[in-house]
Structure 1
Amino acid sequence: MGARTLSTAGMLSISTGLVGLSWLGPDASTTAIVWPLVLLGVGGVPFHPPSNSATLNTIPPEHLRVANGFLSMARARADSSWTPFWGGNSCGLSTGGNHGTARRGGVCDARG
């Protein structure tokens, strides 16, 4: 299977997940939210490696170290920017939506 086929399949999965998320309303169940997120994650697996490879193949050899470092930094930045979002949402889901009202000393306890 070629890189273009993998990238196309991954992008279709990502697009389908984004469309699925856009159709959700405020009363969507957890299950209805999870399946588009799974499609987003599954779509990233075949999409990102060929995309990164194609990007780095356009860089002159003397600049590859800088370009690869920039790509790694951008990936780390994207990963770290989602941490507060997922942490806040997991606390909301684990406490039934009552943020900061978990048992005292718990992970989501707002009082510390």
Structure 2
Amino acid sequence: MKYIIVEEGKDYVLSRVGILWRKYKCSVKAHHFSAFDNDVDRLNHALDTIPENHFMDLIEYWNLDVVQEESKKKAESSAMQMDRHTMGPMSFVRKQYEMVN
């Protein structure tokens, strides 16, 4: 019963779950992949909540050259941003329209 969500709250709950899932994945990668130099150390410090074969698949994926390059480009792009978009789901165009009217 506690997981039954009324239709009006479904979009909010799903968006919230998506945000939390992305944060969790980021945390796992930062604390259990990027923090170590080799796969042996990474496996020795694996999370108990992730099955070992799944964690090995993650390590294999994160070690791919294509994924490494994409991650590096995204980190560089993020570092160059001076101002973050902090208006939530409201776009700047919509906010400007409201201010004009």
TM-score for the superposition, normalised by structure 2: 0.33
Indicate the structure whose relative CO is greater, using CA pairs within 8 Å and at least 6 residues apart: 1
More helix by share: 1
